Amino acid sequence: MAPVKILAVDDDPAIRTLIHRYLSQQNYQVESAGDGKTALELFNKFSPDLVVLDVNLPDTTGFQLCKKMQSYTNVFVLILTSEADEDSILHGFKEGADDYITKPFGLVELGARVGAILKRQRLVSNSQPEGIQLGSLTIDPQSREVKVDGELIALTALEFDILHCLAGKPGRAWKRSDLIQEVWDYEYNEYTGDERVVDVHIGQIRKKLDNNNDNSPKIKTVRGIGYKLDI
């Protein structure tokens, strides 16, 4: 099996070198960049599975770069931020980030976050290889594609995982905390984000799936609990 490819982007040479060296020691194939222009060039050549991406770059922001990269592929993105405030974190998730880690951070924690994201991909890909068909909604975990009436819907990696989770048990009402545990899948149970990040992602999925087809499942809010996929 080919090694997982990770692109590390940080304008601080010391941090960038530490990340590169540590992830390489974990048997990942790693490339690194110190600015947005170089990062995009490497992204196109390297085709990473995951990008570890600093928010503050000299020629762009990590949020803008995250959005741009995910317009090309459904790459996973782990945001590095020195701003732990809720607005900054929610903004990162809105732009497609799969997870965030606050500076300063330990390398072991970084490795755990990377591993959790990659484990999520393996679990989704292996759980239902035959795919899911609910009315006009089709979910293919092998290609990680979602279609409505045969039309491809562009979802981020995390949006795909959330929809796949809901569609795997249609009609079940999921608590936000249960969705975080199921989809983020942190073995060490140290998720410190606000449960409202789930609301952000559900809102994004709803916008992308919005249509007038009565045969298409809808994500419904279950008051006082969370969400369910209504069929």
Q: What is the pLDDT of residues 109-122, one digit of tens each?
A: 899 889 888 876 65
Q: Please give the backbone phi and psi of residue 175, each rounded to the nearest 5 degrees, phi first.
A: -70, 150
Average pLDDT over residues 166-180: 90
Token pair for residue 163?
């929809």
Residue 14 pLDDT more than 60?
Answer: yes
Average pLDDT over residues 14-21: 96
CATH topology of domain 130-230: Arc Repressor Mutant, subunit A (1.10.10)
Average pLDDT over residues 30-48: 96
Residue 200 pLDDT more than 70?
Answer: yes
> 192 versus 183: which is more confidently predicted?
183
Alpha-carbon gap, residue 104 to 15, rounded angstroms: 10
Beta strands in 46-116 (DSSP E): 50-54, 76-81, 99-102
Q: Where are the domains of the chain?
A: 5-122, 130-230
Alpha-carbon gap, residue 109 to 178, rounded angstroms: 22
Residue 192 pLDDT more than 70?
Answer: no
Alpha-carbon gap, residue 85 to 220, rounded angstroms: 29
What residues contact 10, with CB distance under 8 A and at least 6 apart? 16, 19, 32, 34, 52, 54, 80
The pLDDT score that the predictor gives to residue 189 is 43
Residue type, 148: V
CATH topology of domain 5-122: Rossmann fold (3.40.50)
Token pair for residue 113?
């976050």
Whether 5-122 shares its CATH topology with 130-230 is answered no
185: pLDDT confidence band, cut at 50, 70 and 90? low
Alpha-carbon gap, residue 155 to 161, rounded angstroms: 9
Average pLDDT over residues 16-41: 96
Between 21-35, 36-50, 149-163, the lowest mean confidence (pLDDT) is in 149-163
Q: What is the pLDDT of residues 82-137, one digit of tens each?
A: 876 667 777 788 788 888 888 889 999 899 889 888 876 654 444 455 689 998 89
Average pLDDT over residues 193-221: 80
Average pLDDT over residues 2-22: 95
Residue 165 pLDDT more than 80?
Answer: yes
Question: For the CA atoms of 174, 166, 113, 62, what is the dihedral angle to 10 degrees?
Answer: -110
pTM for this predicted structure: 0.69
Question: For the CA atoms of 209, 210, 214, 219, what is the dihedral angle to 10 degrees?
Answer: 60
